[in-house]
């Protein structure tokens, strides 16, 4: 039998931050963490949707300790404000789930001028995690989760030209952004081990992907982009995708299972469906040179220096 939430230890006294918590995997992860006893910060872009998410968590679990905090990871100004507010209220953090994301949307730029998917899925989270690092680095058992996707198999590690590319394909850009999330998770683990030794008991960097899960992510792609591929994917996930309460399990196992160690990834058993299992990321995503280049590019693009 695979890992389930019944195997997770209680989270009383711990503080968790979940981005993209207004719906889908983020909302389910936040609800389950609150149910386990954690105080959960729902980091949401839209105030109205965030308020509804807060109500839903409290309806499902009336004793939940939750708060709403506005965060648009596509805006570095919003990220800075969120970091300042979060550390002022919670100087010690235990779990940060960098979950928010968009998928295969039409070309656009963030307010800071980055290609929208790379800016939202990767750069905004990089800046947020760097900012929150003072609250994590001294917390025994703290965990940082980077959320990737099965499309990392076809994605390339971003370079300077991908910040605002001359040519754009929505699926190529999505694959690139989720590859960046995986590479950053591994590079953070490498830097933690360099700073803390081979057994980084203080803080761990883990990676997960939810597999083929039915959320609004796919349907938003149709609403914004249309196109045969997006419509096919949206229709398929309705009938064949895992429900959210199954798809969230890789994310929750990655941050709650003490047997998952820093640098590992949790995925559905088949890669798209099934119980959450521990896997090692592909060799090319563990390349130290790729991790170093992406880290430096991310620091330069965001103007954030992240010293682990």
Please, what sign has the CA dihedral across residues 163, 99, 225, 271? positive
Give pLDDT, residue 219: 45
- The rounded distance, in Å, linking the Cα atoms of 261 and 250 is 14
Q: What predicted TM-score, i.e. pTM, was given to this entire model? A: 0.92
Residue with tokens 């389910």: 28
Q: Which of 174, 212, 233, 295 is catalytic?
A: 174
Give pLDDT, residue 222: 47
- The rounded distance, in Å, linking the Cα atoms of 187 and 207 is 11
Give pLDDT, residue 202: 83
- The rounded distance, in Å, linking the Cα atoms of 143 and 71 is 20
Q: For residue 81, with 0-12 CB atoms within 10 Å meaning exposed, 13-18 middle and 19 or more buried, which class applies?
A: middle
Q: Per 3-state DSSP, what percentage of the chain is helix, strand, and coil (rounded to 5)?
A: 50, 15, 35
Q: Residue 89 in contact with residue 135, Cβ under 8 Å? A: no
Largest Cα span, the chain = 51
- The rounded distance, in Å, linking the Cα atoms of 221 and 228 is 11
Give pLDDT, residue 199: 61
**Domains in the chain, please, with CATH?**
10-300 (3.40.50.720)
Q: Which of 73, 147, 122, 106 is nearest to 297 (CA)?
A: 122
Residues in Cβ contact with 3 at an 8 Å cutoff, skipping those fewer than 6 apart = 249, 253, 257, 275, 276, 277
pLDDT 10s digit of each residue in the chain, 308 long?
Answer: 589 999 999 999 999 999 999 999 999 999 999 999 999 999 999 999 999 999 999 999 999 999 999 999 999 999 999 999 999 999 999 999 999 999 989 999 999 999 999 999 999 999 999 999 999 998 999 999 999 999 898 999 999 999 999 999 999 999 999 999 999 999 999 999 988 776 656 899 999 999 776 665 544 554 555 565 555 555 565 555 678 888 899 999 999 999 999 999 999 988 778 899 999 899 999 999 999 999 999 999 999 999 99
Q: CA distances (Å), 269 to each of 45, 117, 259, 273, in order?
A: 32, 27, 17, 6
- The rounded distance, in Å, linking the Cα atoms of 92 and 207 is 22
Would residue 168 show up in a list of annotated catalytic residues for this protein? no
């Amino acid at each position: 039998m695979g890992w389930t939430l019944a195997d997770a230890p209680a989270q009383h006294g711990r503080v968790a931050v979940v981005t993209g918590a207004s719906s889908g995997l983020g909302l389910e992860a936040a609800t389950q963490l609150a149910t386990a006893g954690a105080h959960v910060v729902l980091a949401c872009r839209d105030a109205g949707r965030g308020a509804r998410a807060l109500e839903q968590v409290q309806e499902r679990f009336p004793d939940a300790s939750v708060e709403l905090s506005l965060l648009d990871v596509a805006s570095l100004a919003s990220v800075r404000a969120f970091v300042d507010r979060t550390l002022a209220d919670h100087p010690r953090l235990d779990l940060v789930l960098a979950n928010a994301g968009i998928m295969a949307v039409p070309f656009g730029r963030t307010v800071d001028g980055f290609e929208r998917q790379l800016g939202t899925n990767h750069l905004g989270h990089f800046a947020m995690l760097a900012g929150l690092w003072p609250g994590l680095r001294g917390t025994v058992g703290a965990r940082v989760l980077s959320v990737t996707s099965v499309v990392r198999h076809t994605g390339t590690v971003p370079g300077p030209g991908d910040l605002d590319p001359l040519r754009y394909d929505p699926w190529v850009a999505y694959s690139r952004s989720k590859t960046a999330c995986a590479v950053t998770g591994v590079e953070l683990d490498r830097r933690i081990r360099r700073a803390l030794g081979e057994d980084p008991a203080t803080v761990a960097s883990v990676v997960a992907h939810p597999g083929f899960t039915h959320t609004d992510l796919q349907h938003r792609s149709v609403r914004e982009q249309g196109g045969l591929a997006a419509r096919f994917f949206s229709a398929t996930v309705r009938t064949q995708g895992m429900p959210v309460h199954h798809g969230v399990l890789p994310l929750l196992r990655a941050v709650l299972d003490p047997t998952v160690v820093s640098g590992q990834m949790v995925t559905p058993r088949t890669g798209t469906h099934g119980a959450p299992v521990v896997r090692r990321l592909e060799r090319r995503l563990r390349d130290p040179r790729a991790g170093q280049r992406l880290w430096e590019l991310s620091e330069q693009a965001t103007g954030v220096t992240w010293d682990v």
